[in-house]
Structure 1
Amino acid sequence: MAGEKQGFLTRAVQLGALRRWSQMAKAAPDTDLPELRQQRSIARKLKAQVDQLIHVADARLALPLIGNQAFPRPEDADWAWRPELWCGPLPTPGMSSVQSKSMLGKQATLFHDCAQSELTLRQLRNTREADLAAYGLRLDVFRFDGSYLSLAIDLPEEASRGLTRKHLIRIDTIVEMEKRLEIFARLNIKHGPNTEQIVRELPLHQDDIRVEFDLAYTKLNEKRVERMWLDLIFEGPQMNQVILRDLTFSRRKRAEL
């Protein structure tokens, strides 16, 4: 009740101030010059603060919502997820000269075998109208003397819970790049001492970049599934900038034949 009362009083004060300034604006043609000069001085100070509020509000309200988990997914999906890196601000937004096994956040790890790292990773705020994810990930690669470069995304426990060979795992992503390159997605499923791996090339030439992993073609031991992770493998990444605007996962069961 106290909060509602305070909110009502605040709105009443704001409306009262708006009425007073509206009245002064209408009366300005006939206001005495000394008083008009004083009103103008106050109005200019208020205008600066109002313009600042409008600027910040327009910028914040136009951006994708932080923490947003909304994205297109199959209607029959029994699990869907967007990793933290694409949802909200990380404590450390970026790093340079990235060493292998460096983590950005709790779920993303970069792997490479460069003798000298000329790689940078940075989380950036998405600002495009088409973006649903609040943040994106930018990977800058300069000189590259290694043989492999991959970004591993650890999937949460919920992704593995109840997993069967009847499931399809889908990933959707939005990718921007300076120069064309190949990106492969490898799904890894650890079950007992074994790890199943399924590799798909991302169709970067298509508007909707989407791949599905059909677990029917694996030797998955459904009773011993421990965890899953995804490797994004970049082929020929030197002198390039790659931005992953979004990355989402979903899981559904294959239709019975």
Structure 2
Amino acid sequence: MAEQNRFLDRLTNRAALRRWARAARRAEATDLKELRAQRQHARRLRHHLDKLIRIAESRLALPRIGSTRFPKPNDTDWAYRPQLWRGPLRNPGLSAVVSNATMGEEVKIFHDCTRSELTLRQLRNTRVADLAPFGLQMDVFGFDGSYLSLAIDLPDSAVKDLRRRHLLRMEAIVELENPLRIFARLNIKHGPNVEQLVMELPLTDKAALVEFDLAYSKLNERRVERLWLDLIFEEPAMNQVILRDLTFSRRPRAEL
């Protein structure tokens, strides 16, 4: 039935298109009374068509929800965009955020403020340059704590076949209201130990990239259990941070 209805709709649309094309060709010779009625009908029709075109162009210009598309280095054997940046959250915003609060299933926030003046909000990316469907906006007003961090859990696929010869890349698109230092700390749990590698994000441009070379770690390849990454914000008071995108990829280092 649905297929039959679609077929009938196509026939109706084609007939309407032919009718309006014929009316346009004959407009120079059409009786004025009939032409006036056609003009009124065409204006009503144009109102709906313009609205449809405007909404369609806006929606089709947005990054598609669920998109995992982003540039990756050659020889990449694993890549990932966390869920917060690719799909809508059930609860897209938090205010007066307490420590250990969650945004979706993969992102947690940690701080030691006695009074939280922090808000988090998932936003829809709308710029032509955006590849991620969603971003994360963090507004910090007063801040009396000593640390503020976002912890991003990576899936089990990040652990599979992980070796010390791997380079793990994190790329972020960051917008800052005021200058701010941000550090990325990669945490690798292997057995009873947690290996940590720390790098500062180079924020000379909105796109920030860091690569963790696991050769400099003491990783026990046979006992890797999980990976997560902390984004640590230094002196974040009275600032707004927008993470337009956050992606991860992994590739083996070239043999020397």
State if a TM-score over 0.5 links the two structures. Answer: yes
CA distance in 2, matches of 1:9, 1:175: 49
Match of 1:157 in 2: 156
For the pair 1:252 / 2:251, whether they are aligned, the reply is yes
Match of 1:55 in 2: 54
Corresponding residue SS for 1:12: helix
For the pair 1:142 / 2:153, whether they are aligned, the reply is no
Q: CA deviation at 1:221?
A: 1.5
CA distance in 2, matches of 1:26, 1:218: 75
For the pair 1:76 / 2:75, whether they are aligned, the reply is yes
Mapping 1:187-226, distance limit 5 Å? 187-206=186-205, 208-226=207-225
Match of 1:124 in 2: 123
Corresponding residue SS for 1:204: coil
Percent identity over paired residues? 63
Question: Mean Cα displacement is larger for which, 46-55 or 205-214?
Answer: 205-214
Match of 1:231 in 2: 230
Corresponding residue SS for 1:98: coil
5+ residue gaps, structure 1, are none
Question: Mean Cα displacement is larger for which, 78-87 or 8-17?
Answer: 8-17
CA distance in 2, matches of 1:247, 1:178: 18
CA distance in 2, matches of 1:121, 1:215: 32
Q: CA deviation at 1:22?
A: 2.3
CA distance in 2, matches of 1:134, 1:67: 7
Output the TM-score relative to the length of structure 2: 0.94
Q: Which amino acid aligns with 1:24?
A: A
CA distance in 2, matches of 1:169, 1:15: 54
Output the TM-score relative to the length of structure 1: 0.93
Q: CA deviation at 1:89?
A: 1.3
Q: CA deviation at 1:73?
A: 1.0
Match of 1:64 in 2: 63
CA distance in 2, matches of 1:36, 1:115: 73
CA contact (8 A) 2:184 2:231 kept: yes
Q: CA deviation at 1:28?
A: 3.8
CA distance in 2, matches of 1:74, 1:33: 66
Q: CA deviation at 1:220?
A: 1.3
CA distance in 2, matches of 1:255, 1:27: 70
CA RMSD of aligned residues (A): 1.7
Q: CA deviation at 1:256?
A: 1.9
CA distance in 1, matches of 2:100, 2:183: 19
CA distance in 2, matches of 1:120, 1:30: 65
CA distance in 2, matches of 1:111, 1:45: 55
Q: What are the superposed Cα offsets for residues 19-49 of structure 1, whole Å, 9 maximum, x if unpaired? A: 1122223434544455444433432332221
Q: CA deviation at 1:152?
A: 0.7
Match of 1:91 in 2: 90
Q: CA deviation at 1:4?
A: 5.4
CA distance in 2, matches of 1:76, 1:22: 54
CA distance in 1, matches of 2:33, 2:206: 64
5+ residue gaps, structure 2, are none
Question: Mean Cα displacement is larger for which, 127-136 or 145-154?
Answer: 127-136
Corresponding residue SS for 1:21: helix
Q: What are the superposed Cα offsets for residues 92-149 of structure 1, whole Å, 9 maximum, x if unpaired? A: 1111111111111111111111111111111111112211111111111111111111
Q: CA deviation at 1:69?
A: 0.9
CA distance in 2, matches of 1:12, 1:106: 47
Q: Which amino acid aligns with 1:83?
A: P
